[in-house]
Amino acid sequence: MLARAELDVPLVIGSCGTCGADAMVDWMMEITRELAIELGQRVKVARLYSDQSVTRVRAAKLRSIGGKAPTLRGNIVALAGAEQMQAALETGADIVLAGRMTDTAVISTYPMMRGTNAGAAWHGAKIGECGALCSTHPTSGVVIIDFDTAGFVVEPMASGARCTPHTVSAHMLYENADPFILHEPGGHLDVTKAQYTALDDRRVRVSGAKWVPEPYTVKLEGAALVGYQTTVLTLLRDPRYVANAQAWADKLHGVLTRQIDAQIGGDYTLEFRLIGINATLGPLETGTAIPNEVGVLGIITAPTQDAASEIAKLINPFILHFPLTDSEELPTFAFPYSPAQTDRGPVFEFTLNHVMPLSDPMEAFRLETEVIDAA
């Protein structure tokens, strides 16, 4: 806020609180108000809200981008684009506190308002969204994007960091399924014909990206409580058990499911992940190397924490002594800590992966302004 006042430019914050729910916008407003009073500033603040009611979403003609039917519960937000940020800036706000937005829209809006073509603005915003990640020193902090009407120049601020055509162009792969196409509200960015030119050993100029307008849609995100979780962890070290870890875990899952159903019952899920073998990719894993040891992580999800904890207590002796076959002596595995179970508390999951069409970009968003005068 001090730098904003000195430079006399807008301060723009997107996806307040990282999730962009209305409550997070209000939370950031409280912080802004406290700081304005502390700093003796007079600022006009625009708040852009992106929460969506279940009624609105249910009435919309949603289009799935993930092949799953929407679950209309919990918090639902729409990702704002450049049009919504432009509306906020056009209020004359010194500070914009926005709900959920695409990362690129936070950056692309102002250059387009000042005459940069849409392709260059969206492309520069994508390159600059994560700061120095587009440089040779990804954790070094800040880059400066200098926009003109047809393109932009990107330069890292840290000494020793460099932007090269390779590091800059590679950022189109970051959090993006297609290295040439980036979908945003109202269209998509096409960088197929973009040109990356090194101006010196630190700076790169980029031009040639194209913005392709499409019917206006915004992506929806939703999250809802799915239960409470408890985890248990044991370590397999015996070479025979390590080599047969998946078969052991599959057999254990079958035995435990029957035990839980008989002794506790109720609604729950139980899964085992083999850390060191396939815990990240599961059945998609193609590696064949056998490690020295395997961590077996059991994950129990149930409607209440007490239920998940009770199931974990039942599981405890099995994951410590469960044999690979019925006719052998009971093994003893290792718990890395005791007790072996950990209560994780409430667990949430994404419930929406859909886009919602809008006839007017602002129809799903709410904009409010307030002047804080502590000068």
> Looking at the predicted structure, is the pLDDT value of residue 106 above 80?
yes
Q: Please report, rounded to a whole number, the percentage of residues in the chain having pLDDT higher than 70.
A: 100
Count other C-beta atoms under 10 Å from residue 86's C-beta: 17
Return the domain boundaries, the chain. Answer: 2-216+358-373, 225-350
* Average pLDDT of every residue of the chain: 95
- The tokens describing 335, both together, are 């718990």
pLDDT score, position 307: 96
> Which of the four pLDDT bands, split at 50, 70 and 90, describes residue 282?
confident
Q: Is the pLDDT of residue 65 over 90?
A: no
Most confident of 270-284, 321-335, 357-371: 357-371
Cα–Cα distance measured from residue 315 to residue 135, given in angstroms and rounded to the nearest whole number? 48
pLDDT above 90 for 368: yes
Question: pLDDT band at 57, cuts 50/70/90?
Answer: very high
How does pLDDT run across 147-178, given as a tens digit for each residue? 999 999 999 999 999 999 999 999 999 999 89
Quick check: 67 pLDDT over 70?
no
User: Residue 224 above 90 pLDDT?
Assistant: no
- Give residue 338's pLDDT band: very low, low, confident or very high (50, 70, 90): confident
- Amino acid, single-letter form, for residue 139: T
Contacts of 120 (CB under 8 A, 6+ apart): 111, 147, 148, 149, 150, 151, 152, 206, 207, 209
User: Strands 181-184 and 366-373, how do they pair?
Assistant: unpaired
Q: Give me the pLDDT at residue 283, please.
A: 85
Mean pLDDT of 221-237: 94
Q: What is the rounded CA–CA span in Å between residue 350 and residue 345?
A: 17
One of 3.40.50.720, 3.40.50.1980, 3.30.70.600, 3.40.630.30 is the CATH number of 225-350, namely 3.30.70.600
Identify the CA nearest to 239 among candidates 294, 297, 298.
Answer: 294
Tell me if residue 96 falls in helix, strand or coil: strand
pLDDT band at 349 (very low <50, low <70, confident <90, very high): confident
